[in-house]
Structure 1
Amino acid sequence: MKVGIIGVGLMGHGIARNVLLHDGHSLVFLDHPGNQPVDELRGLGARACATPAALAAVCEVVILCVTGSAQVEAIIAGENGLISGLNPGTVIVDCSTSLPNSTLRMGAAIREAGGDYLDAPMTRTARHAHEGSLNLLVGGEAEVLDRVRPVLDAFTETVSHVGPLGHGHRLKLLHNFVSVGFMSLLAEAAAQAADAGIAPQVLVDVLAGGGGASAALDRLAPYIVEGDREGLPFAIANAQKDIDYYRAMSEDAGARQTIADGVATALAAAAAAGHGQAYVPELVRIFRRDDIA
């Protein structure tokens, strides 16, 4: 299939290389200063487009892998956006983490322009993107999903159809609230343990043998014990954005968000102290007594 991707960052680069390595798909990407180095992609046959409209004009499938709703809306409906170059039947696959209400608006705009829309946020990490083993939570019509499965299969381990349009992003925000919430709680506990002089490996072993055993512990343990942050290259600022999106979704739904408010306060304090680009595992250090208040 003729595939385009907008957002060749840590996750998007892995997606792009796997699309090129599987099943003879062609690929174009949006030329952007925020891209990771694209020499490998060009070597595999990818080429750059100057605008989203130019990219849409030569694609059957367009994958979006950008920061959030503001970026998605600008790419779709802004000047030289996808809508102005869209071919009938083109499928937009939004792998970003976005607000469900924005997703519904963008889906309606794409349908009015003759295309189709899927929200397909990712779980797992940049390593899994490079390996082609991401998991996708897909909202939208099953028939549209079936049309683009040959592309999605190139960079995923599982593709789960979770309901109508918007449900993918809603579930991603629920997932990230639980995941980031667990890791923030664990980081605070690990910081207190370190302040008290508890050996890091002892803390990890006690948690792993009891109710603290979790994916959050697996991801933070390398930092707790060895100071290795690379197992989870996810910036605190991005985690804060996702929690704020979750809170906005909760407010729209009239849902309780007491715990989310606490997590947001902790992450906002870390970001305000200049740690926004630090990785989430580094909260273990940032939350210690001698770092930030």
Structure 2
Amino acid sequence: MKKIGIIGIGKMGNAIAINLIKRGYAVNFYTRRPGYFEDRVISSGGSKKITKAQLAHDSQVILLCVTGTPEVEQIIYGEDGLLESILPGTIVIDCSTSIPESTLRIAADIEGKNAYYLDAALARTPKEAEEGRLNLLVGASQELFDQCLPIFQCFAENIEHVGPLSYGHRLKLIHNFVALGFSAVMAEAVACAKAADIDMNSLLAVLSKGAGEGTIMRRFQPYILEQDDASFRFTISNASKDIEYYLAMAKEHNASSEMAKTAGKMYANAVVKSDPESTVPKMIDILGIAPA
């Protein structure tokens, strides 16, 4: 079986690594944050590499499990970057949420080294990552997709081949805009309901039988009733970043983006107003703070 290298073993990446190990793959990893899930992956059988070059020389497939475009570009072009050390024939799978234009540029440079690049944007939460039940939106040629499918099946439940290179990232940005746009509406509505002294159980009963029913309401419900955000552990800083990326893509394609601009402003203000690592359901409390 192919040796797989993973760069980024955070909340999602460490679970992906462990699921690959469970399915029999030899897994190397590199992390910029020593101690951050490191022991967990090592105790499961993963092998730590001190540099990205070491990882590249001992891996046939490399997964990038980092936040977004700046982190991916640093991995590729920065000090000890993969572009300098990648071996011919290596497949690089970008699982980040990134700007498609950057994805295309990186892929061209990687292909110039006789290696391969595809985007496989992740969806769902760390809970599903632990269970090996992530969603994947893959942008790649059919041949490359088929080659990587057995790897994807180790950690993903729903695997969609959505088009050629960069289309995974394109569709992920659209998906996240829809999810985060709905979330902004939900948070603002609940904040208003609290201000208007509406019973939260009554609010949820009405929404669940009408236009508010759906995934976003169900993820918000534990926080609305019990201040439990475990079902929606997505930070407002990541939300702000993803809307920013969506706006960049919309601008590139001359698409309308008025709603996204409003949602983006809400999340950007929340990042300044509160802890950037606050989760999206906590937007309810942030929006409930009266302006000075």
Shorter-chain TM-score above 0.5 = yes
**Contact map agreement 1:51 1:81 (CA 8 A) in 2:** no
Q: Which residue of 2 aligns with 1:14?
A: 15
Q: Which residue of 1 aligns with 2:87?
A: 87
Give the partner amino acid of 2:225: V
Give the root-mean-square deviation of aligned CA atoms: 1.2
1:12-91 alignment, distance < 5 Å: 12-22=13-23, 24-33=24-33, 36-91=36-91
Structure 1 residue 44 displacement after superposition: 2.1
1:1-293 alignment, distance < 5 Å: 1-22=2-23, 24-33=24-33, 36-290=36-290, 292=291
Question: CA–CA distance in 1 between the matches of 2:289 and 2:233?
Answer: 24
Question: CA–CA distance in 1 between the matches of 2:248 and 2:34?
Answer: 27
Q: Number of paired residues?
A: 291
Gap regions ≥5 residues in structure 2 = none
Give the partner amino acid of 1:253: H
185-194 or 228-237, which deviates more: 228-237
Structure 1 residue 147 displacement after superposition: 1.4
Q: Give the TM-score normalised by the residue count of structure 2.
A: 0.97
Structure 1 residue 34 displacement after superposition: 6.4
Question: CA–CA distance in 2 between the matches of 1:168 and 1:126?
Answer: 20
Question: CA–CA distance in 1 between the matches of 2:251 and 2:140?
Answer: 23
- Identical pairs, percent: 42
Give the partner amino acid of 2:121: P
Structure 1 residue 102 displacement after superposition: 0.1
**Contact map agreement 2:95 2:122 (CA 8 A) in 1:** yes
**Contact map agreement 1:240 1:268 (CA 8 A) in 2:** yes
Gap regions ≥5 residues in structure 1 = none
**Contact map agreement 1:13 1:36 (CA 8 A) in 2:** no
Structure 1 residue 35 displacement after superposition: 6.1
**Contact map agreement 2:273 2:286 (CA 8 A) in 1:** no
Question: CA–CA distance in 2 between the matches of 1:107 and 1:87?
Answer: 14
